[in-house]
Amino acid sequence: MELLTNSSKITKRYVGVLNCMLKRFYSDKDHWTVPSFKGMVNQGPREHPQFFKMSNEVHSGFGTDYLYRGTFDGKTHPYDKLMTKYLISGFFWGYMFYRLFYDYMEVLGEPEWPLPYLESLTDEELGIPDDDSMPPRMY
C-alpha cells in the first residue's frame, strides 16, 4: 500500500521515508490509544512524561539547588504582612467605625427632612374626621 506516489518535486528517497513513517504511524495502535495507567505516578516510565518525575538528587559540582528567581520557603515578607494585615485593614475598619459613631444616621438612613412628632398633631390636621360627623352605616 503506497500512501505517497512519486512526483517530480519529491525524490524517490523522501517518498520511501515518508511511506515508511506513515505506514508505521497508521499501523501502530499505540498512537490511537491512551497508555494504560499502571500505578506509576512518581517514578513512571520516561516515555510517558505525565507519569515520570525527575529524581531530585543534587549532582556533585552543582552546589546548592538552583531555582529560577530564587526559592520560595512559604513565608511572605514581613512588610507585606504588615501592610496588608494591619495597616490597610486597620485604616479601613477605623474609618468604618468612625463613620458609624459620628455619622450613624447616614448608615441607618436619615430622612431628607425632619419628621414631626405625630403625637403633637390633632385629628383635624391629619385629616381624620370626627366620630360623630359620619352617618351610621346601614347593613
In the chain, the number of structural domains is 2
Domain assignment of residue 63, yes or no:
no
E strand or H helix that includes residue 15: helix 12-27
Domain assignment of residue 115, yes or no:
yes
Three-class secondary structure of residue 29 per DSSP:
helix
Domain assignment of residue 113, yes or no:
yes
Domain assignment of residue 11, yes or no:
yes
Cα–Cα distance measured from residue 40 to residue 52, given in angstroms and rounded to the nearest whole number:
8
Residue 106 contacts residue 99 (beta carbons within 8 Å): yes
Domain assignment of residue 88, yes or no:
yes
**Residue at 123: amino acid letter:** D
Percent of the chain with pLDDT over 90: 7
pTM of the model: 0.28
pLDDT at 93 over 90: yes
* C-alpha cell belonging to residue 67: 531555582
pLDDT digits (tens, 9 = 90+) for 107-138: 777 767 777 788 888 888 888 888 877 777 77
pLDDT, the chain, mean: 69
* C-alpha cell belonging to residue 50: 505525565
pLDDT at 26: 58
pLDDT at 97: 93
Domain that residue 17 falls in: 1-31
CA distances from 5 to 19, 21, 132 (A): 9, 14, 115
Domain assignment of residue 42, yes or no:
no
Cα–Cα distance measured from residue 8 to residue 118, given in angstroms and rounded to the nearest whole number:
105
